[in-house]
Amino acid sequence: MFHLFEKLKQKQVYLIAEMSANHGGDLSHALTIVREAAKAGADCVKIQTYTADSLTIDCEREDFCIHGGLWDGRKLYELYTDAATPYEWQARIREECIACGVDFLSTPFDRGGVDFLESIGAEAYKIASFELVDLPLIEYAASKGKPMIISCGMGSPEEIGEAVECCRKAGNEQIVLLKCCSEYPAKWDDMHLGNIPDMRERFGVPVGLSDHSEGSLAAVVGVSLGACVVEKHVKLEGVESADSAFSMSMKEFAKMAEEVRSAVRIAQGPDYKLTAGEKASVRFRRSLYAVADIPEGEAFTEENLGVIRPGYGIAPKYYKTLLGKKSRRFLRRGEPLTMEDLS
């Protein structure tokens, strides 16, 4: 069972630990990532299902070379060959997820990837930001009737809307969008997390965050703005890969998980009921007291009537009503006024 929507119904944030290339070409690293992510508080471990040939072609043309950023100077085909998670590992990784009590999730990049994931029992699909515009892929994945988690990096409102509509046309309403800035790492000024509530209103689906920034601050802010899912790249210390430079250590992920879940609790509301602690504090509010002896028949004045702490007297809003009126009884200094004094 895929637990995403169960978590959302309980108003809990769903945390995805993205492995990506951080296995470093070693299955034992991949399995360790699953175990460590589960211990760190992840609800789900995500991998990617592709081969270099499913993403691009091996070509020397300049179009197929990367300029700038983490992968400057590398050919696309070479990068994807190095970073891929071998298909023969993926059923084993899914088994480890089940054993560790976390959901298994993968990003397919072509129809063959979807078919392969179907064959090993995948229960949901993640669409990467770069595939947001690949409507045939989205339609095919959505047609399997399983939850669709779609990252929206670089997406215009029109493009995001087309992807959502594509799922719906396939009869699939199990859609979660992820706000994403497709920079590695993402700069805070470029993240525009204010889009999260806007996306939820525009498209009528839950919205989370796929976070490529450093640290956990963006995740906490995102959750405070209503993000119900947080996806973060995770790595093992000492294992280098194409993605390790912008990925989070397991210790950092555990800290983020704690902070994000605390943020969910802090951001609850609206709820104006007094807490138990506030009820205990009410007695220290201000109220009306005699600050001098007031004989029966003497008028209430600014000199003998005070708005002070504690809160056992009547509310300060009655102060002006009482000024100038005569007291119906003898009030000693330090005695609270009551509703009988008001009448």
The answer, yes or no, to whether residue 248 has pLDDT greater than 90, is yes
Residue range 7-22: average pLDDT?
95
Q: Per-residue pLDDT averaged across 10-32, rounded? A: 96
Helix, strand and coil in the chain, % to nearest 5: 40, 15, 40
Give every CB contact of residue 59 below 8 A, 6+ residues apart in sequence: 77
Tell me, what's the pLDDT at 18? 97
pLDDT of residue 87: 97
Give the model's pLDDT for residue 343. 81
User: At residue 281, does pLDDT exceed 90?
Assistant: yes
Return the structure tokens found at 66: 């990367």
* pLDDT of 165 strictly over 90: yes
**What pLDDT is stored for residue 125 in this prediction?**
98
- The number of residues making up the chain comes to 343
Q: What is the DSSP letter of 337?
A: P
Please check the confidence at residue 9 and state whether its pLDDT lies above 80: yes
Question: What is the mean predicted confidence (pLDDT) over 67-78?
Answer: 81
Evaluate whether 235 touches 224 at the Cβ level (below 8 Å).
Answer: no
Six token digits for residue 171: 């009869």
Rounded mean pLDDT, 292-305: 97
